[in-house]
Amino acid sequence: MDETTAPIPCPICGTGLKLTVTTNRRGKHAIGVHCPQDGRHFRGFINHKPYVAEMLARLAEAIAARQTASDPAAAALQNPEPAPAATSGRTRRRRA
């Protein structure tokens, strides 16, 4: 059986809703669903742990299958370490 996906239209403007992976302050993942035209049209989250874990596993498999270093988004997702923060080169002095 083939898996096919159809874009889910925004109930206000009809634009296809966008899916994103979000993480809360405690580190729990969720799937965010929102309208790319205007976030006020529709915004929701899927927090069901088994479903989110399955979708993250599928995403990881898809990224591993691509193995394209020329794609910056794929390269960023393959690197679990965050990029170091940019500094201006200035150092702050401590007050005595």
The residues with which 23 forms a beta bridge, in sequence order, are 29
8 confidence band (pLDDT: 50, 70, 90): confident
First to last CA, the chain: 71
1 confidence band (pLDDT: 50, 70, 90): very low
Q: How far is CA 5 from the centre of its chain?
A: 18
Tens of pLDDT, residues 36-66: 888 888 889 999 999 889 988 888 888 787 7
Q: Extract the tokens encoding 43.
A: 């915004």
90 confidence band (pLDDT: 50, 70, 90): low
